[in-house]
Amino acid sequence: VDDELESYRSSQGISDTWEARERVVVALTGGPEGETLIRRASRLASRSRGADLLAVHVARNDGLSGASHAHLVAQRTLTEDLGGTYHQVVGNDVPKALLDFARGVNATELVLGVSRRGRFSSLFTPGVGTTTANGSGSIDVHLVTHAQVRRGRIGPRAESALSRHRKLAGLLTASIGLTALTVMLTQIRGQVSLGSDILLYLAAVVIVALVGGLWPALFAAIVGSVLLNFYFAPPIHTITIATRENVLALVVFLVVAVAVSATVDRAARRTREAAAARAEAETLSTLAGNVLRGAQPLPALLNQLRETFNFTGATLLQRKADAARSPDLQHDPQAWQVVASVGRPLRAPGEGDAEVLVEEDTSLVLCGHSLAAADRRVVQAFAAQAVVALRQQQLREQASAAGPLAEVDRMRTALLSAVSHDLRTPLASAKAAVGGLRTPGVQFSDDDQRELLASVEESLDRLTRLVDNLLDMSRLQAGALAMHPEPTSIAETVAMSLDELGPQGREIVVHLPEEFLEVSGDPVLIERVLVNLLRNALRHSPVGSPPMIVVSAHAGEVETRVIDRGPGIPTELWDDVFLPFQRLGDRDNGTGVGLGLALSRGLTEAMGGSLTPDTTPGGGLTMIMTLLQVDAPQDEPEPLP
């Protein structure tokens, strides 16, 4: 219904929300408050039966968001544990991106956290929550309080973008440049105006800002203004200014100098942040690729972490369930178990040089050197992904252990269900016939005795076939079926299979080619396959339409077609007819447990052939047994023109 509704809205150009059912979207910033928001949104969704929970994080286009990868991974896990789904979209306008996503998924409610910004910052811009609520339209917006309210931005404040060497170079440039500029302008005093002097000093301050950043530029602006005032602003050689026009020029000079230097410093910081974000993205991309391509993602992830940050060892530790909390817990090897390790192994968090706590009882421990503060964010992402890889590994192990058990249980249930009926029927028939013959005081005529004995013999034959099929199927699945391939005449095998069927009171039409055809296979197994196929054909062929056997040779292979005019089988069920204990609704007491076709295909493939179904023209089913021909004639190449 949702797919059809979405298709209709898309075709009709409808962008408004249609409340088909409740969908609660929770916006995540990557901060620690995300868990509170997810649990609140989950409670909102639980109030409506069948409501959906969707968590979304808006990543900025420039990649300079302060979101914590570790928090996002933990919140994604929490969302999925609560039955929701996690999504990530990209956009610089966070409110617009949130509303576009909410309308795109036909959401009815949107949950956001109260702004983390301080009161002073809130005076200038309304914030994401207020802007989103104003443009939400028919979507209900919930602003949830949390422990991080009014605590400021996520992550640490940005430090200076330039190194100490560049700052020193800027100070040196300011000292030498301003001195040289002052000497030069003093020599040509009277030839240039005060406005030109201010522009030249302003150019010098901009050059200092480009070299050394904000603080050298501020130093150059202050020193330059003093030099301008003392040497060039009337009255000369004093720190006073005669006219208001010159005061305004100096103030503009200082403002422009500070603005330009601040802009240069901000641009340098953004450049460095962008380079760091690009390096992080490349690292995480390489990490994801190695994890996805590796057969064992957890060791591959730890090895990638060790190589990327030049550690000598990386170990993922989990605290044992019975480990008591104590002051020595971090140094007690008996309280921890090693989940995965590369390089130098560690047995407790206290043995490493750095530790990243992923969950309450899971730690990523590193050795080789201390962890730089700038690298902790990416390492936290590695640690969070390591926990995800650990859970996937545990799920795969559980699935691999449960898969064979489920298959065995399914086979056992199907076997008991089928065999309980098919064993009981011939046993009951044989027991009734023997019991009748042994009934004291009852005299049967010769014809009655022969009929009862024939019933006993028929029932025992059915039991024999059933047991033989079960044993052969078990040997085939175990790879222990004895097989003696040899050149076998297909015509003789067809004749033996007809003899094996015995008098059926039904006609079977056989078409054999004139040439002598031999196939490679075990004659006993080929006969078993043909008998099974003929029994199925006889059972489903209507009276007056006898089954048919057609043998032909093509391209080094011999095809034996067993054709009936019965109801046939839909093409989408062709693979199902070869499943063990599968009778596709056939409840005839004489059909057996549904092993005939499964066993026939297994025997044919064991001899290097194939057994495939096909539709009989005019209605019915054709089973084609294909085997390799012995001494098949090679087609002579046509002469070139």
From the list 28, 176, 165, 44, the residue with the least C-alpha distance to 109 is 44
Q: How confident is the model at residue 590 (pLDDT cuts 50, 70, 90)?
A: very low
Q: Is the pLDDT confidence value at 159 over 60?
A: no
Tens digits of residue pLDDT in 170-201: 889 889 988 998 889 888 877 888 778 878 88
DSSP summary character for residue 229: I
373 neighbors 333 (Cβ within 8 angstroms): no
Residue 587 is predicted with a pLDDT of 47
Between CA 301 and CA 303 the distance in angstroms is: 5
Strands (E) across 402-494 are located at 486-489
Mean pLDDT to the nearest integer, 316-335:
80
Residue 598 region by backbone torsions, left for phi larger than 0, else alpha for psi between -120 and 50, else beta: alpha
289 neighbors 305 (Cβ within 8 angstroms): no
Q: Distance from first CA to last CA of the chain, Å, rounded?
A: 65
Q: Locate tokens 């064979």: which residue? A: 404
Tens digits of residue pLDDT in 450-476: 888 888 887 787 777 777 766 766 666
Between CA 416 and CA 299 the distance in angstroms is: 44
- With b meaning 16 or more CB within 10 Å and e meaning fewer, what string describes 611-626? bebeebeeebbbbbbb
Q: How confident is the model at residue 591 (pLDDT cuts 50, 70, 90)?
A: very low
Tens digits of residue pLDDT in 346-362: 888 888 888 877 776 78
Cβ contacts of 377 within 8 Å, gap of 6 or more: 68, 69, 280
For residue 234, what are the CA distances in angstroms to 182, 199, 237, 240?
A: 16, 17, 8, 8
Between CA 236 and CA 230 the distance in angstroms is: 6
Q: Locate tokens 């090679």: which residue? A: 634
Query: Which residue ranges form the domains of the chain, and what is each CATH number?
Result: 2-144 (3.40.50.620), 164-269 (no CATH), 486-628 (3.30.565.10)
From the list 520, 524, 529, the residue with the least C-alpha distance to 558 is 520
From the list 441, 444, 423, 422, the residue with the least C-alpha distance to 433 is 444
Q: Give the distance from CA 480 to its chain's centroid.
A: 39
Helices 244-293 and 194-212 sit at what angle, rounded to 10 degrees? 20
Strands (E) across 159-276 are located at none
Residue 57 is predicted with a pLDDT of 87
From the list 155, 59, 167, 151, the residue with the least C-alpha distance to 373 is 155
Q: How confident is the model at residue 626 (pLDDT cuts 50, 70, 90)?
A: very high
Residue 375 is predicted with a pLDDT of 72
Mean pLDDT to the nearest integer, 478-498:
81
User: pTM here?
Assistant: 0.37
From the list 298, 289, 314, 283, the residue with the least C-alpha distance to 389 is 298
Mean pLDDT to the nearest integer, 576-594:
56
Quickly count: other Cβ atoms within 10 Å of residue 166's Cβ: 17
Q: How confident is the model at residue 277 (pLDDT cuts 50, 70, 90)?
A: low
555 versus 410: the higher-pLDDT residue is 555
